[in-house]
Structure 1
């Protein structure tokens, strides 16, 4: 079987590859193809993952097969005949992220990669590439499953569905990480057949309303106990009293919606934005790794620094080790094992709404618990519908998402303006118009996308 990693020169690729190697007895992947438009970054990551394969007994499983890895800058060569595609492309790189953040911060708004105006700008420059990618997969590998990590994951997955339908699914490790932390504190397996995960929302915008085990909701007892609730990273981030007042455990990204003034002030007051930190770190990493005898050691040290500082503006002190462990690569491998090898897994995924949130269109992508097996992805209808305030937030963000998709496809600056203006983290239509103009001036890629009045 052939696995393709789009964005194969990206920093986190070795996490994905190591998970694939560890699961080669579960899924008979025999070839991994790394694709990236940046040949120099691709060469570094090819050396890192090749070293990983050699360290894992030459890439061979005791049962027999090897996992070959190769790199290419030719998209069609990469995807042709693929069985599964992991999409993790960052159009414009970390330099683009810096502009996304700074343009918003200069106007007193949240400057963050996937939330608010920064996320909409990121989507604008990413959508044309991802639609092209989806069209090429549909033409050259119609049988493939595409697993999308590219942010903003829900928005990008929704656009790719136009070409790939149900064979594209978005993933994120934050909701399943929340559920697993709750299960660990309560001493239960939240993904067992006896459990029902009551989670609903959008990517980076969802709530755990309940965790039913053998028919009993265990979440109220957790919310009522400071000792238990204080062990949940998301509750510490948003405040135990606020989480208790809401009556649900939020995805950690709700911090930016519930505390936008505080988040903006902390980001603006920092010496560097997250994008500036990562841009500097990655420039140093790729330069050093290109010359290193063992680039894996350089990568490991850089990863530890990167993970320890994740969402630092939302936390006091460093992130706890247990919560700093990345997991989307493991989610992706479990998903692949279910779809391609007949395993059965329960996970939270970005899929079509299909009536689960009645106020949203059926083809809107939402984030919801699913059961996955060899027959496909089967969304579960959560027990608790969104509360009115949750629904208002989800509806407004989805309106902005769909407006950005329409603007990218039409090239309309007017549609982009409206999309920015309706987003809950943009507080003025005039500011929204200024944002669109500023992003056009800052990003040649956005200027090329928004070519119509």
Structure 2
């Protein structure tokens, strides 16, 4: 089975390959093709993968190419993890927003809109190429903003594109762990959009254990989300929000923390990863050792500003292992082998949430089998959550409309309608600022 990884020179690709190395069952991935526009980054990541595979006799064969059609031809699965504009683009997303006093996080608020505006045209082109060159392939999208990009690609690929994220998985795992349950045996009632969802229940043997957690302040305050949001606020909500909702519920504090930081997250990662890829230019560099060292630092500093604002301290060691590669592997296994499973995924709504139309991509538990991912019926969201979901989905739709039409006016509307952008004039200046620094937004007229 052939897996093509788009963004194959990306730093986190070894996580995916590491997961594949542990799969020895029949029907597994036997060939991995890395595609990237940067041949130097491809070479660096290929070296890391080669060291990972050392001593593994049935390791999937790895090749690399800068030719997209070559990479896609014959693919059974396509894993999309591209970053249009690179980390320099992310750093600019953050800076332009902070200069206007609004949040510049890469998937939330102004930064997420800017990222979406330059990514959607590229993602749609990829979707059209997949439909033409590899029509039987399943596309697993991890490109951010994941829900928005998955919806854009679904217009060309239908239900054969599925978005994944490790945030809901990590959240469910933490809740189960603090309740003394096995995460693999728990049903997680999670619903929303990507980076905008809530756990409303966690059932073990049919019994919802979340009320027990919410009723115990000591237990509630003992894990990441309890520290981030505070026990009183979680008890008020009656649910556990995705960690990215910290940017909505504590927006003023988040903007201040970002503004006061020595470097934004994007600038930190840009510089950190530049160091890794520069090191890989040396033929004698120990590729896997350098990658492991860089990854450990990356994971330890994840959402550092939000945790500092909340006084949450360092991340727990159990939360430093990522997880999206495990979701991707479980999804591929379920489809390729008809190994039925339940995963929290980004899929088309199909009536699951009554407040959104059928084509809207949402993030919910899905039953997965050989025919793809099927969203599970969920209870309606409470009004406060429903309003936020509808508001952000409306912004995503304006981003899609702007990408399709090239309308600068529509792009301004997308920024202005976002809950974290507080003025139409700020939205206009954001469009001016982003078009000035991003060549990929030159299409807006």
Alpha-carbon shift at residue 190 of structure 1 (Å): 4.7
TM-score computed with the length of structure 1 as normaliser: 0.95
> Are the equivalent residues in 1 in contact too, given 2:94–2:104 (CA < 8 A)?
yes
Aligned to 2:190: 199
The match for 2:31 is: 31
Please report how far the alpha carbon of residue 56 of structure 1 lies from its aligned counterpart in structure 2 after TM superposition. 2.3
How far off its partner does 1:188 sit? 2.6
Determine whether 1:358 maps to 2:354: yes
In structure 1, which of residues 322, 342, 345 is the aligned counterpart of residue 341 of structure 2? 345
1:88 to 61, 70, 81: 81
- Hey, what does 1:295 align to over in structure 2? 287
Residue among 104, 108, 115 paired with 2:108: 115
Counterpart secondary structure, 1:114: coil
The C-alpha deviation readout for 1:31-51, integer Å capped at 9, x for no partner, is 100000011111100111122
Give yes or no for the alignment of 1:404 onto 2:399. Answer: yes
Q: Does 1:268 align with 2:264?
A: no
Is the Cα–Cα contact under 8 Å of residues 354 and 380 in structure 2 kept in the other structure? no
Secondary structure of 2:359's match? coil
Give the CA deviation at 1:191: 4.5
Q: 1:441 aligns with which of 429, 433, 436?
A: 436
Q: 1:422 aligns with which of 394, 404, 417?
A: 417
Which residue number corresponds to residue 7 of structure 2? 7
Structure 2, unaligned runs of 5 or more: none
| Equivalent residue number for residue 152 of structure 2 | 159
Contact 2:48 2:288 in 1 (8 A): yes
| 1:26–1:337 Cα contact (<8 Å) kept | no
The Cα of 1:205 is off from its aligned counterpart by 0.2
Structure 2: distance between partners of 1:27 and 1:433: 52
Distance 1:17 1:437, change over 3 A: same
* Residue 318 of structure 1: aligned partner: 314
Contact map agreement 2:28 2:333 (CA 8 A) in 1: no
Aligned to 1:285: 276
Residues 381/26 of structure 1: CA separation in 2 closer, same or farther (3 Å cut): farther
Which residue, 392, 395, 399 being the options, matches 2:387?
A: 392
Aligned counterparts of 1:113 and 1:27: Cα–Cα separation in 2: 36
Q: Distance in 1 between matches of 2:427 and 2:50?
A: 46
Q: Does 1:127 align with 2:123?
A: no
- Greater shift in the superposed pair: 196-205 or 370-379: 370-379
Counterparts of 1:75 and 1:217, CA distance in 2: 47
Contact 1:42 1:71 in 2 (8 A): yes
Aligned ranges 1:64-75 → 2 under 5 Å:
66-75=59-68
Shift of 1:352: 0.5
Q: Does residue 367 in structure 1 map to residue 363 in structure 2?
A: yes
Quick one: distance in 1 between partners of 2:439 and 2:151? 24
Aligned mates of 1:221, 1:381 — CA distance in 2:
24
1: CA distance, partners of 2:169 / 2:222: 16
Give the Cα–Cα distance (whole angstroms) in 1 for the partners of residues 56 and 206 of structure 2: 43
What TM-score comes out, normalization by structure 2 length?
Answer: 0.97
How many Å apart are 1:254 and its aligned residue? 0.5
Query: What SS does the aligned partner of 1:346 have?
Result: strand
Cα deviation for residue 207 of structure 1 reads: 0.3
Show CA shifts across 1:59-96 (max 9, x none): x1xxxxx5110000000000011000100000110000
The alignment status of 1:149 with 2:142, answered yes or no, reads: yes
More displaced stretch, 267-276 vs 27-36: 27-36
Structure 1 match to 2:44: 44
Contact 1:289–1:299 (CA<8 Å) still a contact in 2? no
Distance 1:307 1:377 in 2: 29
* Alignment-derived partner of residue 427 in structure 2: 432
| CA RMSD after TM alignment | 1.2
1:242 corresponding residue in structure 2: 233
Q: How do residues 202-221 of structure 1 correspond to structure 2 at under 5 angstroms?
A: 202-221=193-212
1:404/1:47 Cα in 2 relative to 1: closer, same or farther (>3 Å)? same
Q: 1: distance between equivalents of 2:386 and 2:14? A: 38
1:309 aligned to 2:301?
yes
Deviations 1:306-360 (A, max 9, x none): 0000000111432111112100001100010000012122110000011111121
Give the superposition deviation at 1:361.
1.4
Q: Which residue of 1 aligns with 2:215?
A: 224
How far apart are 1:187 and its partner, in Å? 2.5
Cα distance in 1 for residues equivalent to 2:355 and 2:366: 20
Matched-pair contact (CA < 8 Å) for 1:191–1:347: no
Deviation at 1:414, TM superposition (A): 0.7
